[in-house]
Amino acid sequence: MSALICGSLAYDTIMVFPDHFKKHILPEQIHILSVSFLVPEMRRELGGCAGNIAYTLKMLGSEPLIMATVGQDFGMYATWLEQLQIRQDYISEQEGFTGQCFITTDLDDNQIAAFHPGAMGMSHVNRVGDVSDQVKIGIVAPDGKQGMQDHARQFAEAGIPFIFDPGQGMPMFSGDELLELINLASYLTLNDYEAEMICKATGLTLEQLASKVDALIVTLGAEGATIYADGICHEIPPVKAAAVLDPTGCGDAFRAGLLHGILQGWDWPSTGRLASLLGSIKIAHRGGQNHKFTQGSLAEQYRAAFGMDMPN
């Protein structure tokens, strides 16, 4: 059984400005802003929600299938996926660029970012019904708006349970549009900020939203997570990270843990603990696809973090 991951694939270019933005931006001149930053440190990471989720899910031993649209510059990323033995059957190439994010960070970790969606805007050309593999679980992660809507509807029509993960795509949707997708989904996952946003957009409380899905998962950063399921609120403890280097992709690693636990038929406390652990492993590495673990090392870290064995 496979997990179908509908979401973005993107290149992230991260530049570090070895100073503070506030020294170079004059508040009284913000209406004529024109600034240039020398960035001697730069790196390029492979990212996008679908790629990050698939990366961690593959290491867990599950079978990720990515459904995404990419541009004609995807060759380097495709080679990486080949090395990971992550299938590319449902990744379609479009004209133009793969999604691109350009991020400049200063010494206070403030960020100025620009995102070019590129081929991501064509995500709706892919259809869940075209997947020939047997899919047990899906996820609709941030992507082109129409693609997210279409894929949610297609999962529901096919009777495939799926996680709705609006993430940074949430501002694209009205409250009514969000409610439609939530009503189609089996699971809803948000971070704490997104949870406040979606409650405001829909006019519903978290408890009311939880009643519409089999499980509502809310991540709380360094405070762990909360899972509302079967009328129970499961408090998932945090895991202290070996280092806090880069939060990019932590939510995606967490979601890979959710997908794996669902695929394995684990209960929610065990699934949540695995997801929490994976987020802490990721944050100790830069980029969304540079952390590593083995089945053995993961089991040891699970036992050390929670005082119990990880389910088989």
* CATH code for the domain defined by 2-22+39-306: 3.40.1190.20
pLDDT of residue 33: 85
Q: What is the pLDDT of residues 235-283, one digit of tens each?
A: 999 999 999 888 889 999 999 999 999 999 999 999 999 999 999 999 9
Rounded Cα gap, residues 125 and 17, in angstroms: 39
Rounded Cα gap, residues 225 and 276, in angstroms: 7
pLDDT of residue 113: 86
In three-state secondary structure terms, 190 is strand
132 Cβ contact partners less than 8 Å away, ≥ 6 residues apart: none
Q: What is the DSSP string of 100-132?
A: EEEEEE-TT--EEEEEE-GGGGGGGGS-GGG--
**What's the mean pLDDT when you consider all of the chain?**
95
Cβ 138 vs Cβ 161: under 8 Å:
yes
pLDDT of residue 151: 98
Q: What is the pLDDT of residues 71-109, one digit of tens each?
A: 999 999 999 999 999 999 999 999 999 999 898 988 887
pLDDT of residue 107: 87
pLDDT of residue 109: 72
Q: What is the pLDDT of residues 137-196, one digit of tens each?
A: 999 999 999 999 999 999 999 999 999 999 989 999 999 999 999 999 999 999 999 999
pLDDT of residue 29: 82
Q: What's the token pair of residue 18?
A: 């070895």
DSSP state, 219? Answer: E
pLDDT of residue 291: 97
pLDDT surpasses 80 at 1: no
